[in-house]
Amino acid sequence: MNLTQFIHDLPKAEIHIHLEGAIQPETVLKLAERHKMLGKLPGDNVDELKKWFTFSDFSHFIVVYLTIQDLLRTPEDFALIAYENGADMAAQNIRYRELTVTPYTHTDFQNKLPIEAVLEGLADGRSRAKRDFNVEMRWVFDVPRNLSFPQRDGQTYDPRPAEKTLAYALQGRDFGVVGFGLGGNEVNAPPEPFAHAFASAKAEGPYGAHCAICKPTASVTACGPSKTPICSTYCANGKSRWKSIQPAIPASTFIQTWPPTLPANWTNWACSSPSTATTHLCLTPISCKNTPL
């Protein structure tokens, strides 16, 4: 067995992937045709969309991301992308995923549908994927930080996106929401004003949080102190014990708790993913239970 096959066959967990950002070009076309919105796309075929998906910079990525978000207009749309995400998990032998979703964009910024419709669609796609592919998905609802600074000056802060996103996340706990986060472009959108939302999330009890940041030390401090480990992932079939070490500068930093309904034989690892994305550096020495999945 070669290394590629070995990695494929391993049961895996993935804790940082954006649901809307993981939609395949074929599905983007399907959604655009469904809602008669092909004119919003740069082309009407998969090859053109694949070129569009080659991002030139972060601003280009945001344009693509918002365009795709605008194609999600019904509970059935959310069910479709959640279900197809489950099929993708099964193809890679990924058993568990925590997927970031940005509900505020759909419910308030693009003003398309209520949060109940988003939750309904996610729940339907998630349950059908579990039935058909034996995979488990959970949701992290994140705040679009740029929409909190309408004047784009980094100073005039609007707390409503954070407050409403947290309310949506709390409402969604029975629908698989396990985390609350902060995402988007950092330019003129500093993290400090969002501390109130993270403090409120922490006050609600064991609840994960995710900050998408480029300056981890400043942003983690700005989000407020927490006794929860920074970043976590899950493991199975192992006895490895990781030494507690100082993490490298990560591309993303997580404050995350163990979702209560994970399989009993999966153990929480606290870790931080460095910018090289080649390894995980543990903050807490925790060993996996040696129990087969």
Average predicted confidence (pLDDT) for the chain: 76
Write the pLDDT tens digit of every residue in 155-179: 899 999 999 999 999 999 999 999 9
The superfamily in CATH containing domain 3-22+75-282 is: Metal-dependent hydrolases (3.20.20.140)
Please state whether the predicted TM-score (pTM) of the whole model is above 0.85: no
The answer to whether residues 64 and 55 touch, using CB atoms and an 8 Å cutoff, is yes
The answer to whether residues 181 and 210 touch, using CB atoms and an 8 Å cutoff, is yes
Q: CA 68 to CA 78: how far, in whole Å?
A: 12
Burial class (CB in 10 A: 0-12, 13-18, 19+), 118: buried
pLDDT for residue 244: 26
pLDDT for residue 62: 86
Q: CA 67 to CA 61: how far, in whole Å?
A: 10
Q: CA 172 to CA 153: how far, in whole Å?
A: 32
Read off the tokens for 88.
């993708």
Residues 6+ apart with CB under 8 A from 108: 160, 161, 164
Task: State yes or no: pLDDT of 126 exceeds 50.
Answer: yes
Q: Which amino acid is at 18?
A: H
Length of the chain: 293
pLDDT for residue 59: 82
Task: Identify the weakest region by mean pLDDT among 73-77, 122-126, 140-144, 274-278.
Answer: 274-278
Burial class (CB in 10 A: 0-12, 13-18, 19+), 266: buried
Residue with tokens 């569009």: 52
pLDDT for residue 101: 96
Using 50, 70 and 90 to split pLDDT, how confident is the model at 224?
low
Indicate the pairing of strand 267-274 with strand 250-255.
antiparallel
DSSP state of 242: P
The answer to whether residues 154 and 190 touch, using CB atoms and an 8 Å cutoff, is yes
pLDDT for residue 189: 92
pLDDT for residue 241: 26
How much is the average pLDDT of 132-151? 95
Q: CA 262 to CA 264: how far, in whole Å?
A: 6
Task: Identify the weakest region by mean pLDDT among 14-18, 88-92, 160-164, 266-270.
Answer: 266-270
Of 286 and 150, the structure prediction assigns the larger pLDDT to 150
List phi, psi (to 5°) of 98.
-110, 115
Nearest to 182 by CA among 254, 271, 233, 247: 254
Using 50, 70 and 90 to split pLDDT, how confident is the model at 276?
very low
Read off the tokens for 112.
């398309």
Q: CA 140 to CA 196: how far, in whole Å?
A: 18
In the chain, what percentage of residues exceed pLDDT 90?
Answer: 55
Q: CA 53 to CA 196: how far, in whole Å?
A: 35
Using 50, 70 and 90 to split pLDDT, how confident is the model at 222?
low
Residue with tokens 């996610």: 122
Write the pLDDT tens digit of every residue in 34-71: 999 999 999 999 999 999 998 888 888 888 999 999 99
Task: State yes or no: pLDDT of 226 exceeds 50.
Answer: no
